[in-house]
Amino acid sequence: MNLEKLTIAELGRLYRERRVSAVEAVAAYFKAIRAKDGLLHAYLSVNESAALAQAEAVDRDRAAGAELPPLAGIPLAIKDNICLRGERTTCASRILENFVSPYDATVIERLRGQRAIFLGKTNLDEFAFGSSTENSAFGVTRNPANPEYVSGGSSGGSAAAVAAGLAAAALGSDTGGSIRQPASFCGVVGLKPTYGRVSRYGLVAFASSFDQIGPLTRSVEDAAVILGAIAGPDPLDSTSVEAPVADYPAGLEAPVSGLRIGLPREYFGAGLDPGVAEGVERGVKILEKLGASVREVSLPHTASAIAVYYVLAPAEASANLARFDGVRYGRRMPEGATMRDLYELSRDAGFGKEVKRRIIMGTFVLSSGYYDAYYLQAQKVRTLIRQDFESAFKEVDLLVTPTAPGPAFRIGSKVTDPLTMYLSDVFTVSCNLAGLPGLNLPVGRTAGNLPVGLQLLGPVFSEELVLRAARALERELGGPGAV
């Protein structure tokens, strides 16, 4: 039995039936990590002794007859910009290379309460700035479908770990598509919750009005289980929302008959890869067969989304990354004779090219004489983009789009062309600009056997509906891992 290929639901059932122990499952995952991760490089760090200790404690309690929560004994991977007490949190950057977090992020605290097991921390684009995980200071993560191709980004390590059987599921973060795009490239489920649904406390900030933590999983059911565990208000995060958390797994099998599905015309134009278009069309036909109605809608300000995102997100990043100065923690260069020298030398040595590029972009659009022309104007267009979605959701219940314009691309093919790289997120950034929930579902493969994904977008706090539609599609496509 390949324990490392099972969904959370399947592994949990084996635990309850006493056919497998948590220690056996964790050992199987570390065996797979040792066999495969030398090539893929999904992980930046692992802690086998801590994970086995967690597993032993779960097995003892289960043997004693304790009633355990759904995630008890489930081996998870955590993106390395989420704080895990006593473990390094590097953000794939030299400036935080030796930083050990003194506390748990709220999502980690909630998963500890569920008795989940943490295998290690996964690779990412430095500070989550990227779409391919090629910007990591510690090396690229390769795609399990074809190691010559990128895994996507910035949560490329988490997506690759789940796709390759190196974790039962993983946490990532999504600022402009960083869960959904790598999920599409690697062929797994990736869910970005509504902004405010999940606490950001303990997530190292990229752009504070965009960032959300969410799961990458093998199945829609697994995504529902993890979301239920980590969602909810948090007094430590003032942007978390006091909204009821549904029993997401309980609503998965409800019918989708009668749902109104919108296809935004702006997402289906020139440049869409034929393999992606075919996969999305297949998904739409399945929804129609299940009784949903489909119609075309318009999101007229979509063409401005990339430009708006790459004004606002770097602006927020430049402010958030000002704290990494070599004074309190992180890399500190000893050569500086003055405080200014200390700042400049430490930040120059600690940050990579893409991080510096975005800090410079963000500082520029916030500077005197340019704030009104760029930042303020971008905020106004962000409002128009959000209003586009609000108008569309008066006519339809959900939107279906491609997750990315194409499948994974070859390692190195876009790294010297930042604009082309940024366009990898052309179908995902609008969701973050509007604060909506979005989910990637694998729906097929290209002729070159690279995964492609379909994106489901819903109104704010409609995760239950998004998951239900995704589950209906997944079931008709043959179940988890069938495509």
Q: Read off the pTM.
A: 0.97
Which helix (H) or strand (E) element contains residue 380?
helix 377-392
Instruction: Name the stretches of the chain with pLDDT < 50.
Output: none
User: Residue 37: its pLDDT value, please?
Assistant: 98
User: Residue 421: its pLDDT value, please?
Assistant: 93
Residues 6+ apart with CB under 8 A from 434: 385, 386, 389
CB 385 within 8 A of CB 304: yes
Alpha-carbon dihedral of residues 369, 374, 377, 382, nearest 10 degrees? -150
**Domains (range + CATH), the chain:** 3-256+439-451+466-476 (3.90.1300.10)
Q: In what order do the strands lie in the sheet with 293-297?
A: 43-46, 117-122, 75-79, 169-174, 212-217, 189-192, 438-445, 451-457, 398-402, 260-264, 293-297
The CB density around residue 68, as the number of other CB atoms within 10 Å, is 16
What whole-number distance in Å separates Cα of residue 401 and Cα of residue 399? 7
Burial of residue 478 (number of CB atoms within 10 Å: 0-12, 13-18, 19+): exposed
CA distance readout (Å), 260 to 256, 386, 398, 473: 9, 20, 7, 15
Active site residues: 79, 154, 178
